[in-house]
Amino acid sequence: MTSRILLFDPVERFVAGTVGLPGERTFFIQARTGARLISVSLEKTQVQALSERLTYMIREIKQSDPTIVIQRLTRDDAPLETPIEEEFRIGVIGIAFDASRELIQIDLQAVSEGDEEEPDFIDVDDLTGDQDIMRVLISPSMADQFAKRAISVVSAGRLPCPFCGGPIDMRGHLCPRANGYRR
């Protein structure tokens, strides 16, 4: 079986969001163009890392080419679009900047089915594997909008314990800094 590239060029909406209550949330990234909607799931840390990397990349783009205009888009606070049907779970994320088109390319590769380790590098030209890739091309302005929403989605979870930094659920938690007493 060969992999598929699910291409969104251009993309109308590209957002991160969650389903579920804090502590039990599932994180999704959605891309939509017209009636075509694809949702992929991922870990909270992947959403956070992607938003931080996009923020860094935008800063680098501004410094390297001051002629590129990065507009402030209105904040997208709308919920994820339904139906939310997971196409695949993300394993590896790749980011690149296409200077000729002034677009950021984000490749979200599915988790490998086998027991082998995940690769450190995505070779998107080699489609001999069986991992699907969702490729989204966005402007730096849309990347900024995505990163800001993703940061707010990640921080909307459970509050951290002031002693150990671990998440506190509604019933409290067993804090290692308090010798196992519930906080």
What whole-number distance in Å separates Cα of residue 90 and Cα of residue 112?
A: 9
Strands 103-110 and 133-138: antiparallel
Domain boundaries, the chain: 5-178
Could you tell me what percent of the chain has a pLDDT over 90? 50
Q: For residue 78, is pLDDT > 50?
A: yes
Count CA atoms closer than 13 A to 71's CA, side-chain side. 5
CB distance 116 to 72 below 8 Å: no
Q: Please choose, from the candidates 69, 76, 46, 44, the residue with its C-alpha nearest in 3D space to the C-alpha of residue 149.
A: 76
CB distance 57 to 143 below 8 Å: yes
Q: For residue 86, is pLDDT > 60?
A: yes
The mean pLDDT value of the chain amounts to 84
pLDDT in tens, 6-52: 999 889 999 999 998 877 889 999 999 999 999 999 999 999 999 99
- CATH node for 5-178: 3.30.2450
